[in-house]
Structure 1
């Protein structure tokens, strides 16, 4: 269920909302939509508390939910946990006690980036007392639609090439993607359709060049064009792209080739494979073509080489990472 759809169906604020959304953009969106519908600006100064993790968190949360509303029917408390925040088992038990002790004059919105294990007692107890909802970022097959809708909101369209570039650059990191889209909209207020050349003007040129060259580099590796891949690699390294970042990108590419090659034994439909892998069909289609250049054993050997190199990079084993990366590429594509 989408956040807008969920908020729309809520006629009256309940006592407790437990909201899971790994993505910060979605948690912020829920807060914004919820506040707009249920918390008038006129009562926010005295009847809206934001209690986030930190020292004596549970004590502060307990105090906030026990404070009665002032001059209003309800008091609202919002608490937001990101992926670096967590509670131990004893603290979770205390949290449940706070949840159970909520009065009818309080509404607590608890947002978290940490997904619950639904086999645990905490979830079983929670679902009896809370409105529990999970909101996931759009997966690759839905990301096209999400991006287009963001532009349509401002009465704009985006061409296919530009859409794919945004996906390749930012994946479904919605905070960054939304920020870049807003930059584009602000830069071209009178333009009805956004093109590839418009993107080059507004998106950080360093980021644009880096990502475009990295994808070209990965294509060359996938096609086993060693000489051209090394030339592209040297150009990127001369521009200051970090070797470890390139190694990580290459690892992701090889893993995708391995996955696609495995599933292509059962189907040659790239959309079905993409659905299995939770990926966008476009990179899967390209990976299917590239994977024909390698056997599964070759891909496993390349990945092992990359993981070994990654350990050496992190431990400082290679004094010259640029040269080391070139040697890894030569060795990898020679399998």
Structure 2
């Protein structure tokens, strides 16, 4: 079976993947011996075929997740993968292959690749189109689009109710404004709000007391410290966040998002765009745009691209159990 997910709603896609994993572990592989994650950026066809085709003594089925194969730098990998999938008739296999492409999205009816370096999105080349067309025709294909304002409001209310709370409509709007539509942050803020008011309806005043605007000021402070090469301060800010029980995944998501914002702003400023117009064109809250624009002077484009790449790799290593998040982030900071 081939399952294909794509789209830049990373939160909903990861949520769906976690649901698939949970169901697989509960129904087929309680010991989790038959699940593998492959880094699509680095993987080759030999590793894919060995992983997908390797039988297990414990279960009859395997679940393999490949993320970001369209970002692989090997010229022939997409053509090789397409031939392999067609030749082995994997869509009819009992084994489950999940391919997730967070950097592909539907833009006005055309599939484009989201640039990792803050530059203009690019159309698919011929080999990318062929693989995408094959995958998108599979029975289990889903695009994860950003939620519309109405969908986002409904999602927030549902999530609050799932966790045993209620929220006023005005508070929903306030939370959206604070979060800049970031589902990872909204999810984290909902958890904080439920813990703060477990048996009372959440109001706008609660958002102002508990929540942080779009990117936490501590994230700005951390990137400031990194930009100024003040590693002791950066590590202290991190330790403070750990003591406050801020989720590792949230910290990493916010750090990665912030460096990508700085990168986008740096590219735009270098292209001569007006600072007053860049923020709105990128859909940034004025507060976030101003703070982030000030941080562009700390880093070169090469540094920003390297840091973004290393944070993305750390995210992969953490999710696949190859490193501890906190150790990995401390090592990354030490290298800066």
Q: Distance in 1 between matches of 2:147 and 2:206?
A: 25
SS in 1 for 2:32: helix
In the TM superposition, residue 104 of structure 1 has moved relative to its aligned partner by: 2.1
In the TM superposition, residue 82 of structure 1 has moved relative to its aligned partner by: 9.2
Q: Distance in 2 between matches of 1:255 and 1:78?
A: 34
Contact 1:161 1:196 in 2 (8 A): yes
Give 1:93-242 correspondences, 5 Å limit. 93-100=79-86, 101=88, 102=90, 104-115=93-104, 120-128=129-137, 131-191=140-200, 193-204=201-212
TM-score normalised to structure 1 length? 0.53
Q: Distance in 1 between matches of 2:214 and 2:142?
A: 39
**Rg larger in 1 or in 2?**
1
Contact 1:46 1:70 in 2 (8 A): no
What residue in structure 2 maps to residue 6 of structure 1? none
In the TM superposition, residue 127 of structure 1 has moved relative to its aligned partner by: 4.1
Q: Deviations over 1:24-64 (max 9, x none)?
A: 21221111111233332744432111112354444322211
Q: Deviations over 1:206-230 (max 9, x none)?
A: 96899xxxxxxxxxxxxxxxxxxxx
Give 1:264-279 correspondences, 5 Å limit. none
What residue in structure 2 maps to residue 23 of structure 1? 9
Q: Distance in 1 between matches of 2:185 and 2:214?
A: 16
In the TM superposition, residue 113 of structure 1 has moved relative to its aligned partner by: 0.7
SS in 2 for 1:61: helix
Number of residue pairs matched? 216
Q: Distance in 2 between matches of 1:82 and 1:176?
A: 27
Aligned residues: CA RMSD: 4.0
What residue in structure 2 maps to residue 324 of structure 1? none
Q: Distance in 1 between matches of 2:156 and 2:275?
A: 23
Q: Note closer, same or farther for the CA distance 1:180–1:104 as it changes in structure 2 (3 Å cut).
A: same
Q: Distance in 2 between matches of 1:16 and 1:142?
A: 28
Segment of structure 1 superposing worse, 66-75 or 175-184: 66-75
Contact 1:20 1:113 in 2 (8 A): yes
TM-score normalised to structure 2 length? 0.53
